[in-house]
Amino acid sequence: MKNFISKHKNTVISFLGVAVILILIGILWITMGGADQNKNTSAQQTSSQSDYYLPNASESDKMSIDEMDIERVRVTKLLDIKESGGDWGGESIVQRTQTFMVKILTGPYKGVEAEMELDLTDITGTGKGVIVAKEGDRLLGYFVMDYSTYTLHGTCTGFQRDIPLMWLALGFTVLLILFFGRGGIKSFSALIITCLMLIFVMIPLVYNGMDPVLAVVIFGFATIVVTLLMVHGPSVSSLAAGMGAIGGVLTSALIAYILKSVIWITGTVDEESISLLYTDNGRNLDVAAILFAAIVIGSLGGTIDVSVSIASSLEELKEKMGENITGWELARSGMSIGCSIMGASLNTMILAYVGSSFQLLMLFSAYNISLEEIINNEMIAVELLRALAGCFGLLMSVPITSVTAAVFSSKGNMGSLKHTDIQLVKNLSSMKDKLSAAWKNALNEASNQSQSKPDTQEEPQINLFERARQHYDEMNSEEEKNMHVDKGE
């Protein structure tokens, strides 16, 4: 046992660290009543869904439906499509209902064939909002027993989309393991743990009353620790990357928390947030805070990516250079590496957030809405805030990771600090030198131009009266001279 532990020391430490984090998260979940809340939430969702899909059922039928689950079915035979007039929001819309036979694949009626209906009403009027079922399609739906005829009648709630997605995820997992081996298994395991914590821990905690920003900070810390320990193991680079990632997440959370009231965000920017208010049930959910918690989650992955890249690069650089590089020089190298990474990361983050609002931007363009109106629209403002908060998180993770990795790699021996070792000071000094040189060049050019001009005196202004008088005197003197000559004087 001792030999195994000493041989796989890093692996044992990683799994113990992950276990401690999961235990602490579990204690927090139990303390906040996450289990009871999750159960109550699922019961409320089942009740609301059954009432929605079967509005014409009797009260006794509704009570029995609330205790039933959605069943999986396969279409075996198409029957017909019925049309009838209807009213939707004051507008007349043709209601279409497709009827077909299905074979029940799950539940207490497994193997039984029954009739099922699918609502094909297109409220958009474009004909693109519905999908007609075909033989062999797999659907989901509720079933209710008609005790007068002892026949089952089903109502379709949607198509089975989970199976194709599961096959796609399985293909990705297989390729990940084939390409990266044990590292791929660790990465996939960390991803699964993160998703489980998000779905079964964080969401119930927020719904149960915990402050969303605080919950996302706890979730972000747990995700960072679990990911780094499982994927990279306990090392100096993992510690530095963790410090940088935590610093970036805290920066994004701080910006989100401050701007929650500064830019007047209500949080009701889409149908999901509005629907969440209807399920509040007296919990006073802060949809604005929930929105900003989503902002922090969106920046979490990019922050971890940037921090790990910088920390790993600096660790490799220290191994190659040894004592020939000081801690401050190492930190400067980390800033240079971070500058290169930030260009691509910022581009990726901005395009991701723009892509999430692409349809809305196209709608604004179709209606010729001005840029000022677009930016001040709450939904667009939220997407801009998502991008900017995430960018701030990425930005702050670079210096934190660089300095932390330099301190740990050099074991505190940072060497003498030069102004060139601090990128900000270096940039400011360079800017100052450029401005000073430009000012001196401007003064020299002005001096040269003034020296090259010939010295010219201003001509006196001509006085016409004096000029005429001078001319008259000259004429008189000339006449007197001629008179003396004629007299022989």
Q: What is the number of domains present in the chain? A: 3
User: How deeply is 141 buried, as exposed, middle or buried, from its count of CB atoms within 10 A (0-12, 13-18, 19+)?
Assistant: buried
In a domain, 9, yes or no: no
| 171 and 225 co-located in one domain | no
Q: Which residues constitute the domain of residue 40? A: 20-51+164-205
| 180 and 219 co-located in one domain | no
Calpha distance 371→377 (Å, rounded) = 10
Q: Which residues contact 142 (CB under 8 A, 6 or more apart)?
A: 50, 53, 54, 65, 68, 70, 71, 154, 155, 157
Question: Among all chains, which residue has been given the structure tokens 């099922």?
Answer: 116
| 405 and 276 co-located in one domain | yes
Calpha distance 358→397 (Å, rounded) = 29
CATH number at residue 108: 2.40.50
Q: What is the pLDDT along the chain (489 residues), one digit of tens a residue?
A: 555 555 556 677 777 777 888 788 888 778 776 555 444 444 444 444 333 333 444 443 443 444 557 899 999 999 998 887 665 555 667 788 999 999 999 988 899 999 999 988 877 666 666 889 999 999 999 998 888 888 888 999 999 999 999 999 999 999 988 998 888 888 888 888 888 888 888 888 888 878 887 888 888 888 888 888 888 888 888 889 999 999 988 888 888 778 766 777 777 777 777 777 777 655 677 777 787 788 788 778 888 888 888 988 888 888 888 777 888 888 888 888 888 888 777 777 777 777 777 877 788 888 888 878 888 888 778 878 877 888 888 889 999 998 898 888 887 676 666 555 555 566 666 777 777 777 778 777 777 776 665 554 544 555 555 666 676 677 667 666 666 555 555
Q: Calculate the CA 6 to chain-centre distance.
A: 41
β-partners of residue 139 are 73, 159
| 298 and 185 co-located in one domain | no
| 287 and 403 co-located in one domain | yes
In a domain, 482, yes or no: no
In a domain, 58, yes or no: no
**92 torsion bin: left (phi>0), alpha (psi -120 to 50), beta (else):** beta
